[in-house]
Structure formats: structure tokens, C-alpha cells
Amino acid sequence: MDFAIPADLAPVLDKIERLLTEDVIPAEHEVLTRGFVAAAPVLDALRAKVKAAGLWAPQVPKDVGGMGLGLVAHGLVSEKLGRSPIGHYVFGAQAPDAGNLEILHKYGTPEQKTQWLEPLAAGDIRSCFSMTEPDSPGSNPVILTTTAVSDGDDYVINGVKWFTSGADGAAFAIVMAVTNPDAAKHGRASMIIVPQGTPGFELVRNIPIMGDAGGGWASHGEVSYTDVRVPKTNRLGPEGAGFLIAQERLGPGRIHHCMRWIGICERVFDTMCARAAFRKIDEEKTLASRQIIQAWVAEARAEIDAARLMVLHAAWKLEHQGFHAARDQVSLIKFYVSDVMMRLIDRAIQVHGALGVTSDTVLAHYYVHERGARIYDGPDEVHKMVVARRILKRYDGGGGR
């Protein structure tokens, strides 16, 4: 077993680290305080720098202009990018576009690729993924009320979605809608591309997340579909294959998220340690002299290192043995890493005292905008249940001694 970073990847990671430290992190406060829409020129300038450095779209296949990195390599890149809340966006690796790119690349027709995949891969447009509904359990997504009814060469879509991340300003949505209501439950829905501006497709609002509605890419939209008519050629993949395609999107997506969360952990860990080493709590000593803080630092270090190994192993298994073989590991990392991250952010805020709840450090942003990690891509409880069931099945009839 070799834990060394591959020789061809090491210089890429160094370049990314340098660009993040010198250009991206210094710009993030302005972006976060002005908002993604108002700060578009800053973001565009950073994206141009990334492209000029040959670091654009690390996970995107080379045939559409990306770096074509494999899952483990991209995991390591994703950790670096996660050190800034704007890292993934600036490098063209942000959700939900990354997942949409992946399925368009695999399932898109030549026309869909020309119209949507190419400009998306180039960062000229954005997209969104519209599956969750306010009135259906997202944790059991086979229950959907949005329908796409066949009418000649068209589908007519009706329904309400929410938490369609990045819907504000997206050029198109990939919507999950029931096309085959009488099929077996995993064969009822299809993915359909709905271009922005199609009559009946409306962004109702950007949903406030703990008070912050955001804007542009950094938003979560409530979207209504009222008699939205699109040609059947806008369907992605075969009819009824929506869940199959969604499943394929989720495996790598969870690796991307988890490695991004490790990057967040590293940033938060640095912030926490720097504050502990700086903040005097009497004439002589800093917070770093206190055992409770030392315990938090040691525990966090162990948890981050353990989490990283788990995620890289899951990525390796997914890349070499496929989703079926890796599904336990993918579930384990999803709840383990999000929990490590949220506990660490909370402790780092505690170490900062009142400063921790202000927006003068990056901690409050993470506290608000990463809390969803324990909910999206399968709530923690569902992953625990699924993985535990599989484990316990292996002990069926074992005798218990």
C-alpha cells in the first residue's frame, strides 16, 4: 500500500495550493460579504487565472476541456479547494454543475452535449438539479409528485420543487419527474432538461438558509413547473431511468463533497489552532495552555486524518471496483465526515468566543452553510440504517456466541 501522492499529481496540488493561498482566499471575504451576484467580476477574474494556469475543471473529462482527473486524484484536489468557500466555484468544480456534467457526458445526446455540456464545462453557463419537493420526503425520493405527461413529441411538466441549488441564474434545470407512474417504483421517473425561460418554469424564491437567501450559484431555489412544455428530445437517458442515473451521480458526488468537507476541516482546524495559540486568557498564558483546548485539538487531528483515509479508500474502491462494491464505504463516509466537520466547526467557534459567531472569520459562514451536509445526498440517519442493515444481515442466524 502506497500513501504517497502520485508524482504527476504533486505539482498540480502545489500549484492549486499556491493559487488558493495567494489569490482565492484573499478574495473570499469580499465575495461572501457582497454576495455571488454582485461579486461576479471578482469571481470571473479568478476563474480566468485558474484557466490560464491550466487548472480548470479538474474532474471534467479532457474531451470537454477539463483536466480529466480520476476520483482519487480529484478527491485530493477537492480537499485543497475546500479550504475556501469559493474554491470549487473558482476552479469549475462546484456542485451541482459537476454532477450534471457527469451525467450529460455519459447520457447526453450529441445535440444535448453541444447545447448544454460544452458551455457548462467551459463555465459559460450554470445549471441546477431539481429533484426534491417540499411536500414529498426527499430521503425517499422514489415518492415524487412532479409529473411529465407525454403529449405527442413533448412532455408537459407540472410540480413544485425546492432546494434546487443554484436555480437563480441557471441556464437550465435537470428535473426529475414521473413519466411512468405504473412502473416499478425505481422505474417511474425520468430526468428532463428544462431550459431557463421556458414558459411555466418559475423561480419562486431563493429559500433563506438560517436567514441568508444568497443569490446566483450560492442559493437554493423553490421552483414551480406549471404546464412546462419541452420536447422529448430533452430527456436525459431512457424513459424511466431517472433513479438509475441519479444513483450514478451520487456515488462520485459524495466523494467530492466529503473531500471538500475535509478541506473545510483543515481550514477550520488551522483557524482554531491559530486562535488558541494567540488568545491570552491571563497576563501570561494563551488558550493553547488549557487541557480542554489541547484535547479538542488532538481529537480533531485524529478525526480529520481518519476521515481522509476513509474517503480516499472509498474513492479508490469506487474507481476500481464500482458503486456496488463501494456502497458501504460511500454511506459510512457520508455521515462520518459531515459529523466530524460540524463538531469541529462548533468547537472552533467556541474557541473564538464571541468572535466566532461574527462574520469576521470564515467560521460562521461554514456553520450556516455546511449544516445541510448532514441532510443532503441522503440524511445521516438513512445512511446509518442502510449500512447497518447490510452489516447485520451478514450475522443472520449466527448464534450470538
Confirm or reject binding of residue 129 to ligand FAD (CB under 6 A). Answer: yes
- Please give the residues from 157 up to 186 whose contact with ligand FAD meets the rule CB under 6 A: 163-165
Among 114, 139, 247, 359, binds ligand FAD (CB under 6 A): 139
Residues contacting 70, CB < 8 A, separation 6+: 319
Strands 127-130, 172-178: pairing is parallel
Pick between residue 25 and residue 375 the one whose CB is nearest to ligand FAD: 375
Q: What burial letters (b/e) apply to 4-25, b meaning 16+ CB within 10 Å?
A: eeeeebeebbeebeebbeebbb
d(CA 10, CA 224): 46
Cα 300 to Cα 307: distance, rounded to the nearest angstrom: 10
Map the footprint of ligand FAD across residues 379-398, applying CB under 6 A.
Answer: 379, 381-382, 385
Q: Please state, in angstroms and rounded to a whole number, the distance separating the CA atoms of residues 392 and 377.
A: 23
Residues in the chain: 401
Return the residue of 6, 137, 231, 322 that touches ligand FAD, per CB under 6 A.
137
DSSP state of 353: G
Residue 354 is which amino acid? A
Least separation, in Å, of the C-beta of 138 and ligand FAD? 2
- Binding to ligand FAD, residues 315-374 (CB under 6 A): 372
Residues between 75 and 114 that touch ligand FAD (CB under 6 A): 96
190: cell is 425520468
Nearest approach in angstroms of CB 163 to ligand FAD is 3
**How near is the Cβ of 153 to ligand FAD at its closest, in Å?**
27
Residue 53 or 368 having the CB closest to ligand FAD: 368
- How many whole angstroms separate alpha carbon 250 and alpha carbon 264? 20
For ligand FAD, the closer of residues 273 and 345 by Cβ is 345
Scan residues 194-233 and list those touching ligand FAD (CB under 6 A): 220
Question: Among residues 265, 253, 273, which one has the least CA distance to residue 326?
Answer: 253
Complex with ligand FAD: residue 72 or 338, whichever CB lies closer: 338
Of 69, 73, 101, 131, the one binding ligand FAD by CB under 6 A: 131
CA dist., res. 96 & res. 129, Å (int): 6
Contacting residues toward ligand FAD, per CB under 6 A: 96, 129-132, 137-139, 163-165, 220, 372, 375-376, 379, 381-382, 385
